[in-house]
């Protein structure tokens, strides 16, 4: 199973051709990304927050899945199954958000939700303090 | 058969297992399957008894029901709720998916057990715990939960509405435990089928019933997640007073309906697919013909599985969902009838020109096709959002889904039990009693639900304790139909005693099954002894062809077992 | 196990070890559980902009430290797998326990954080945001606890050089727990 590739370092590598130093490198990159995702939102700019917090979360997730979980070395259908499960989650979001996330639609409105939003409309004012 | 094989059994002959090891804490997939089967049957008896009680109240309001007594309105609600819950989660699922899955998958793919026997045992134990919790919920203060098996909030979330402060909590806990049990079991089924097939068994050599049970497990796994999260949310609403489903605090009761039906509709196919698989095995064996189009069945099953995730909101057409969504879901709902119809056509085409042998198993399989068809056709009315506005929550809906669920969970299960009984217990069931049971069940079942289509179309609303409070519905013509339905319930239940007598008597005294393959079938479970020992096969079989090679031209025998080299 | 392992478990038609195949299916089923909960949160979060006010009361520092702890524990379990594969059971054992220690740190920090929140009056019933905050993080914490228990159990076998492949299996699960936190952290703490 384990096919060791000849190399010049004295460090031994695992089945995927990685040694401890590789994993430490990935971990270091993850920490840098993590630092960016914390600092980014401090600017208070909505787009920057979205990109740094959620965009970087996606990058981190990709790095963990590929380098730590070795999903690339599994049979091809394993990532497909995982994506199908994620697809279920987004399907749920797409169909349900029109009812739950919206406060009004064709011939209906969610009066209770609108009242709550109205009640808290000056929240940004509080946020600054 | 005469092949040398590296895989030999040398481990299970070492010591005789005690009764305790063998039957109470077993690792053998067959015994675990039996445990699921018998627990499921007992819960089915309980669910059927509930239906008898509330049907009596429905047809003869205020009657002192024999074996129960006077039914109060709270009890009526609790009875219908738990009838629905038990029949789906504790009768249909454990028998169709868990019992048949556990028993058949390793045998039919030529393995000696499930890949994780201990997880398999744990799955049954969690399931048994869920049974105990559910039954316990009937005996707590104010009785069992009565907010319908769909458990819509706010009725299910607040004790001041449902009046069952403990019953509703225990009900929810029982359902979640049952889900965990089936997730564990499902992972086992999927992994076993993927990784442990006999040498030579390719994807297209797997018997349809194994495919169906595993695809059902995948559907369950992909759909149950949001509801498990939703159940945690509902549990917190019930117990510590969070407001996940309380609009006044920003929550949304529609969210629960989506969470529930996102699971609830694929769930219909979770029980439908194994039933369809059982019927495929039975009709090919008893019409001595190759399954008309194996790949078509398989790919339509994939299509059904995928489409089943796009139809759930048709349960909520009048719940106040966005009308744009209702349009989409009408289309997808009508679309899903195409693969189902295709499967029925394939099965009918399999029968065409075959030498049909009308055994009890075959009769039940044919009965499944005929009655499920009625359920499917009436579904078209309800899938159209316009017609559904009128039909919603009437007895028409009830009759429709009983015409799907009863063929699935009762008739197909009987087909499977009559068919695999010799393998399970090494004896035959009595065919004459089997046929009496078949006709009694079919006539009785149609007698229950045919009249309910008419009362439903006339406006009978579901979950009504006493129709005499509704003058326009309390007319004698409708009341007579209700009585016909109720009397048919009693007749159907009485005919099940024929089955139970036949089942128990045959288990110990029935005609002995002297050969391994009494029905002359092709699949691998018939290679093993009747009943198979622990470890199933003396020599692990190898597979050389598909499972449905019946009446192959130029061959002397009209069957060709999968494991025979020539 | 040993003598009771069925032939079925040792087969590998797909070419993947049975255990690893099953772990991926476990993760598949977990994706929909966490995904369902987070999508419910996301819908209501986008519906009510004022939840930003609530999330500004979360302790970003504690959440950040916990992210660091989990990322580091992911490193230690992947290294444990590396040494388990090379049959260096003592190093693997030590790294597994380092991971368990990481999980413990995570729970301790979480405990301190929750205690402070509750003392400040933000309980699970205070508002819907806090309901989601405690439910999602609680569900995640349950997975952390389950992972720690399994690791402790596996580490005993590792010392005897038995079932070494299970280090990889628990590793995949632990990385998934880490992944869930990678998304929980911005959703609950950072987005304002």
Q: Which helix (H) or strand (E) holds A84?
A: helix A77-100
Residue that is written with structure tokens 């015994």 in the block? B31
Pick B322's closest partner by Cβ from A84, A92, A98: A98
**pLDDT at res. A11:** 53
Average pLDDT over residues B379-408: 94
B276-317: pLDDT as tens digits: 999 999 999 999 999 999 999 999 999 999 999 999 999 999
C42 pLDDT higher than 70: yes
Question: Residue A119: helix, strand or coil by DSSP?
Answer: helix
Residue B300 lies in a domain: yes
**pLDDT at res. A3:** 37
B186-242: pLDDT as tens digits: 999 999 999 999 999 999 999 999 999 999 999 999 999 999 999 999 999 999 999
Among B333-342, C137-146, C183-192, the range scoring the smallest mean pLDDT is C183-192
Query: Is A88 in Cβ contact with B258 (below 8 Å)?
Result: no
Count of beta carbons in the 10 Å neighbourhood of residue B40: 25
Average pLDDT over residues C78-98: 94
Confidence of residue A51 (pLDDT cuts 50, 70, 90): confident
Average pLDDT over residues B6-28: 68
Average pLDDT over residues B500-525: 95
Q: Is B226 on the interface with A (CB under 8 A)?
A: yes
d(CA C144, CA C77): 13
Pick A107's closest partner by Cβ from B255, B323, B325: B323
d(CA B169, CA B150): 14
Q: Which positions ≥6 away from B353 have C-beta within 8 Å?
A: B289
| Token pair of C6 as six digits | 């069925």
Chain centroid to CA C59: how far?
20
Residue B494 lies in a domain: yes
B422 pLDDT higher than 90: yes
Confidence of residue B14 (pLDDT cuts 50, 70, 90): very low
Count of beta carbons in the 10 Å neighbourhood of residue B310: 18
* CB interface of B with A, residues 261-290, below 8 Å: 262
A129 pLDDT higher than 60: no
d(CA B363, CA B370): 11
Question: Residue B319: helix, strand or coil by DSSP?
Answer: coil
CA-based nearest distance C2→chain A, Å: 22
**pLDDT at res. A16:** 63
Confidence of residue A2 (pLDDT cuts 50, 70, 90): very low
Cβ B487 vs Cβ B499: under 8 Å: no
Confidence of residue B246 (pLDDT cuts 50, 70, 90): very high
d(CA B26, CA B242): 42
DSSP string, chain C: -GGG--HHHH--TTSS-HHHHHHHHHHHHHHHHHHHHHHHHHHHHHH-TTHHHHHTTS-HHHHHHHHHHHHHHHHHHHHHHHHHHTT-HHHHHHHHHHHHHHHHHHHHHHHHHHHHHHHTT--TTT-HHHHHHHHHHHHHHHHHHHHHHHHHHHHHHHHTT-STHHHHHHHHHHHHHHHHHHHHHIIIII--
**pLDDT at res. B1:** 34
Q: Is A115 on the interface with C (CB under 8 A)?
A: no
Kindly report the CATH number assigned to the domain that includes residue B125: 1.20.210.10
Confidence of residue A1 (pLDDT cuts 50, 70, 90): very low
| Token pair of B469 as six digits | 């409070």
CA-based nearest distance B180→chain A, Å: 18
**pLDDT at res. A14:** 60
A4 pLDDT higher than 50: no
Query: Is A121 in Cβ contact with C48 (below 8 Å)?
Result: no
**pLDDT at res. B23:** 83
* CB interface of C with A, residues 70-99, below 8 Å: 71-72, 74-75, 78-79, 81-82, 85-86
**Percent of residues in chain A assigned helix, strand, coil, to nearest 5:** 70, 5, 30
d(CA B119, CA B116): 5
A8 pLDDT higher than 80: no
| Token pair of B459 as six digits | 């406006």
Q: Return the closest-CA partner of residue B284 out of B484, B11, B519.
A: B519
Residue B258 lies in a domain: yes
B47-81: pLDDT as tens digits: 999 999 999 999 999 999 999 999 999 999 999 99
CA-based nearest distance C39→chain B, Å: 9
Mean of the per-residue pLDDT values of chain C:
94
Which residues in chain C are closer than 8 Å to B192, comparing Cβ atoms? 8
pTM of the model: 0.94
- Beta bridge partner(s), residue B70: B64
d(CA C19, CA B363): 42
Among A16-20, A99-103, B332-336, B480-484, the range scoring the smallest mean pLDDT is A16-20
Query: Is A49 in Cβ contact with C32 (below 8 Å)?
Result: no
Among A72-76, B483-487, C170-174, the range scoring the smallest mean pLDDT is A72-76
| Structural domain count, chain B | 1
Distances (CA, A) of A25 to B246, B488, B548, C173, C181: 48, 73, 55, 21, 21
Cβ B37 vs Cβ B29: under 8 Å: no
Q: Which helix (H) or strand (E) holds B69?
A: strand B69-70
**pLDDT at res. C2:** 39
Confidence of residue B157 (pLDDT cuts 50, 70, 90): very high
Query: Is B322 in Cβ contact with A108 (below 8 Å)?
Result: yes
Query: Is A105 in Cβ contact with B254 (below 8 Å)?
Result: no
Which residues in chain B are closer than 8 Å to A108, comparing Cβ atoms? 320, 322
CA-based nearest distance A1→chain B, Å: 18
DSSP 8-state code for residue A107: T
Average pLDDT over residues B242-253: 93
CA-based nearest distance C94→chain B, Å: 28
Strands B69-70 and B64-65: antiparallel
How buried is residue C66: exposed, middle or buried, by Cβ count under 10 Å (0-12/13-18/19+)?
Answer: buried
Q: Which positions ≥6 away from B499 have C-beta within 8 Å?
A: B414, B433, B437
Pick B106's closest partner by Cβ from C8, C12, C131: C8
A76-115: pLDDT as tens digits: 999 999 999 999 999 999 999 999 999 988 888 889 999 9
Residue B122 lies in a domain: yes
* Domain ranges for chain C: 16-190
Q: Return the closest-CA partner of residue B125 out of B200, B185, B208.
A: B185
B451-489: pLDDT as tens digits: 999 999 999 999 999 998 899 999 999 999 999 999 999
More confident residue, C173 or B24: C173
- CB–CB contacts below 8 A, B to C: 138
Q: Return the closest-CA partner of residue B232 out of C152, A94, C137, A22.
A: C137
Q: Which positions ≥6 away from B212 have C-beta within 8 Å?
A: B273, B274, B276, B277, B280, B301
* CB interface of A with C, residues 19-78, below 8 Å: 19-20, 23-24, 26-27, 30-31, 34, 37-38, 41, 44, 49, 53-54, 57, 60-61, 64-65, 68-69, 74-75, 78
Question: Residue B554: helix, strand or coil by DSSP?
Answer: coil
B352 pLDDT higher than 50: yes
Q: Which positions ≥6 away from B143 have C-beta within 8 Å?
A: B74, B75, B78, B164, B167
Mean of the per-residue pLDDT values of chain B:
93
Pick B325's closest partner by Cβ from A88, A91, A95: A95
d(CA B372, CA B412): 10
Q: Which helix (H) or strand (E) holds B371?
A: helix B360-383
Which residues in chain A are closer than 8 Å to C13, comparing Cβ atoms? none
d(CA C54, CA A120): 12
Query: Is B243 in Cβ contact with C44 (below 8 Å)?
Result: no
Q: Which fold has domain C16-190?
A: 1.20.120
Q: Return the closest-CA partner of residue B408 out of B301, B278, B265.
A: B278
Count of beta carbons in the 10 Å neighbourhood of residue B384: 17
| Token pair of B145 as six digits | 């939960």
**pLDDT at res. B16:** 66
Query: Is B258 in Cβ contact with A92 (below 8 Å)?
Result: yes
DSSP string, B456-503: HHTTPBTT-S-GGGSTTT--HHHHHHHHHHHHHHHHHHHHHHHHHHHH
Strands A108-109 and B64-65: unpaired
**pLDDT at res. B7:** 54
Confidence of residue A5 (pLDDT cuts 50, 70, 90): very low
Q: Which positions ≥6 away from B157 have C-beta within 8 Å?
A: B234, B237, B238, B245, B246
Pick A88's closest partner by Cβ from B309, B320, B322: B309
Confidence of residue C172 (pLDDT cuts 50, 70, 90): very high
Query: Is C36 in Cβ contact with A86 (below 8 Å)?
Result: no
**Percent of residues in chain C assigned helix, strand, coil, to nearest 5:** 80, 0, 20
Which residues in chain A are closer than 8 Å to B327, comparing Cβ atoms? none
Residue B189: which domain range? 28-515
Question: Residue B368: helix, strand or coil by DSSP?
Answer: helix
How buried is residue B458: exposed, middle or buried, by Cβ count under 10 Å (0-12/13-18/19+)?
Answer: middle
């Amino acid at each position: 199973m384990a096919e060791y590739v000849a190399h010049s370092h004295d460090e031994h590598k695992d089945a995927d051709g990685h040694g401890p130093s590789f994993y430490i490198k990935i971990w270091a990159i993850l920490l840098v990304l993590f630092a960016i995702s914390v600092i980014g939102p401090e600017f208070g700019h909505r787009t920057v927050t979205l990109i740094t917090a959620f965009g970087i979360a996606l990058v981190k997730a990709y790095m963990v899945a590929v380098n730590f979980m070795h999903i690339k070395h599994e049979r091809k259908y394993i990532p497909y199954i995982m994506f199908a499960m994620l697809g279920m989650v987004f399907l749920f979001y797409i169909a349900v958000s029109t009812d739950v996330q919206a406060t009004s639609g064709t011939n209906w409105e969610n009066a209770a939700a609108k009242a709550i939003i109205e009640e808290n409309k000056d929240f940004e004012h509080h946020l600054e303090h | 058969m005469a092949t040398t094989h590296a895989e030999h059994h040398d481990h299970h002959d070492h010591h005789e297992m005690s009764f305790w090891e063998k039957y109470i804490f077993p690792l053998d997939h067959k015994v675990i399957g039996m445990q699921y089967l018998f627990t499921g049957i007992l819960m089915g008896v309980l669910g059927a008894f509930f239906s008898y009680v509330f049907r009596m109240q429905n047809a003869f309001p205020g009657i002192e029901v024999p074996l129960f007594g006077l039914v109060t309105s709270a009890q009526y609600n609790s009875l219908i709720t738990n009838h629905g819950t038990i029949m789906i989660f504790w009768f249909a699922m454990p028998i169709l998916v868990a019992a048949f899955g556990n028993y058949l998958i390793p045998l039919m793919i030529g393995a000696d057990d499930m890949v994780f026997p201990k997880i398999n045992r744990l799955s049954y134990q969690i399931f048994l715990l869920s049974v105990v919790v559910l039954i316990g919920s009937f005996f707590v203060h104010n009785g069992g939960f009565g907010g319908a098996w769909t458990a819509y909030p706010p009725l299910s979330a607040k004790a001041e509405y449902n009046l069952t402060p403990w019953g509703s909590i225990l009900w929810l806990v029982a359902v979640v435990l049952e889900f965990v049990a089936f997730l564990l079991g499902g992972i086992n089924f999927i992994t076993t089928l993927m990784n442990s097939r006999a040498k030579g068994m390719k994807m297209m050599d797997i018997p349809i019933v194994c495919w169906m049970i595993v695809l059902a497990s995948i559907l369950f796994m992909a759909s149950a997640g949001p509801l498990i999260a939703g159940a945690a949310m509902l549990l917190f609403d019930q117990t510590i007073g969070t407001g996940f489903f309380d609009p006044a605090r920003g929550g949304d009761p529609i969210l629960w309906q989506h969470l529930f039906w996102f699971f609830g509709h694929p769930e219909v196919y979770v029980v439908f697919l194994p039933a369809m698989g059982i019927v495929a095995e039975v009709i090919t064996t008893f019409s001595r013909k190759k399954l008309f189009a194996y790949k078509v069945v398989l790919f339509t099953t994939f299509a059904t599985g995928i489409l089943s995730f796009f139809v759930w909101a048709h349960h909520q057409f009048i719940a106040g969902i966005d009308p744009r969504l209702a349009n989409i879901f009408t289309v997808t709902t009508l679309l899903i009838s195409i693969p189902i119809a295709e499967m029925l056509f394939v099965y009918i085409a399999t029968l065409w020109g075959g030498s049909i042998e009308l055994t009890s198993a075959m009769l039940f399989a044919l009965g499944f096709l005929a009655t499920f068809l009625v359920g499917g056709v009436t579904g078209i009315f309800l899938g159209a959002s316009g017609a559904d506005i009128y039909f919603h929550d009437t007895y028409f809906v009830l009759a429709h889904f009983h015409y799907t669920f009863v063929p699935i969970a009762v008739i197909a299960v009987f087909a499977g039990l009559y068919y695999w009984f010799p393998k399970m217990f090494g004896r035959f069931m009595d065919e004459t009693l089997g046929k009496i049971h078949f006709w009694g069940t079919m006539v009785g079942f149609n007698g229950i639900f045919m009249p309910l289509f008419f009362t439903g179309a006339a406006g009978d609303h579901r979950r009504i304790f006493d129709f005499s409070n509704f003058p326009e519905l309390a007319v004698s013509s409708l009341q007579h139909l209700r009585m016909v339905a109720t009397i048919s319930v009693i007749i159907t239940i009485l005919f099940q005693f024929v089955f139970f007598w036949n089942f128990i008597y045959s288990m110990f005294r029935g005609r002995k099954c002297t050969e391994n393959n009494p029905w002359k079938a092709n699949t691998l479970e018939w290679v093993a002894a009747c009943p198979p020992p622990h470890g199933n096969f003396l020599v692990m079989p190898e597979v050389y062809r598909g499972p449905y090679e019946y009446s192959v031209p130029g061959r002397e025998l009209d069957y060709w077992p999968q494991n025979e080299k020539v | 196990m040993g003598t009771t392992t069925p032939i079925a478990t040792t087969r590998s038609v797909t070419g993947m070890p049975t255990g690893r195949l099953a772990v991926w299916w476990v993760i598949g089923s977990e994706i929909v559980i966490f995904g369902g909960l987070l999508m419910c949160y996301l819908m209501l979060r986008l519906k009510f902009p004022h939840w930003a006010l609530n999330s500004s009361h979360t302790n970003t520092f504690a959440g950040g430290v916990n992210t660091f702890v989990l990322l580091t524990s992911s490193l230690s379990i992947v290294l444990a797998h590396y040494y388990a594969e090379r049959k260096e059971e003592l190093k693997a054992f030590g790294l597994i326990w380092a991971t368990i220690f990481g999980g413990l740190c995570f729970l301790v920090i979480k405990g301190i954080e929750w205690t402070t929140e509750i003392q400040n009056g933000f309980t699970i019933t205070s508002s819907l945001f806090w309901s989601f905050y405690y439910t999602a993080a609680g569900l995640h914490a349950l997975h952390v606890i389950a992972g720690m228990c399994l690791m402790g159990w596996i580490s005993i076998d590792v010392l005897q050089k038995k079932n070494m492949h299970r280090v990889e299996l628990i590793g995949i699960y632990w990385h998934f727990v880490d992944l869930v936190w990678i998304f929980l952290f911005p959703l609950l703490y950072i987005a304002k």
